[in-house]
Amino acid sequence: MLDIYEVLISRRTTKFLYPKDELVMQSFASCSLADVNVVIIGQDPYPNDKANGIAFGSSNGHTPSLNVLQRWIGKTIDPTLLTWTAQGVLLLNSALTVEVSGRTMSHSTLWKEFVEHAVKLCSDKGKVVFALLGNTAKELEYVIDTSTNEVHCEVHPASMCGNRNPYRHSEIFNDINSSLIRYRKTPIVW
């Protein structure tokens, strides 16, 4: 972990990194491992000040990805997504930071081992529902013990933004709740 922070400190001197330092671990601060029932994995943080350290969450209004999630759920949602984390939903990106210096660059390689370990810890609990949104998230499926946990896969919401199939609907949130019910756990109020 120290190596990751040394790299981040070094890069912050010449580049813009998101989210802010104090928000990088917000996913874990807002949902402890003991409380995790659902893990939703995305790609990387928003490359701007909307990044709040929670995958898909925004500290500054709705984003195109949040709008897609809202459409899939069928109701207005709080953009911070703290109402979800309070119910045991860990919202985790494959990379916890992103670099902006002329072009956006994910730090997925930098965070790979850390994120894999976090996913494995959740998997080891058993009876956790995983939602892997996008191809980058799907690369983490091998870390999950599918004999004791359920995995649902869906496209990344960003792929649904703009003119790219804007009316496609997903049942991923209903599927997650159905899995929770099978585990005799309380469904999430999305």
For residue 42, the enclosing domain spans: 2-182
Q: Does residue 56 form part of some domain?
A: yes
> Number of structural domains, the chain?
1
pLDDT at 163: 54
Taking the CA atoms of the chain, what radius of gyration do you get in angstroms?
A: 16
Q: Which of 157, 153, 131, 156 is nearest to 66 (CA)?
A: 157
Cα dihedral 129, 151, 56, 47 sign: positive
Q: What pLDDT was estimated at residue 115?
A: 96
Residue 38: the pLDDT is 98
Q: What is the pLDDT of residue 156?
A: 87
Task: Report the phi/psi class of residue 91: left, alpha or beta, with left for phi > 0 and alpha for psi in -120 to 50.
Answer: beta
Answer for the pair 96, 24: CB distance below 8 angstroms, yes or no.
Answer: yes
CATH of residue 162's domain is 3.40.470.10
Query: DSSP states of 6-31 as a string?
Result: HHHHHHHTTSEEES-GGGTTHHHHHS
Kindly list the averaged pLDDT for each block of 10 residues, start to end, along the chain of length 190.
Answer: 77 85 96 97 93 95 90 93 98 94 75 96 98 96 98 87 62 97 98
- Residue 104: what pLDDT? 62
The predicted structure's pLDDT at residue 109: 87
Kind of pairing between the strands at 38-42 and 129-133? parallel
**Considering the domain boundaries, does residue 187 fall inside one?**
no
Tell me whether residue 47 is in a domain: yes
Residue 131, in any domain of the structure = yes
Residue 71 lies in a domain: yes
> pTM of the predicted model, to two decimals?
0.93
Contact by Cβ (8 Å): 184, 165: no
Residue 145 lies inside a defined structural domain of this protein: yes
- 21 belongs to a structural domain: yes
Cite the active site residues: 44
Residue 15 is predicted with a pLDDT of 82
Q: How far apart are CA 45 and CA 47, in angstroms?
A: 6
> Is residue 190 one of the residues assigned to a domain?
no
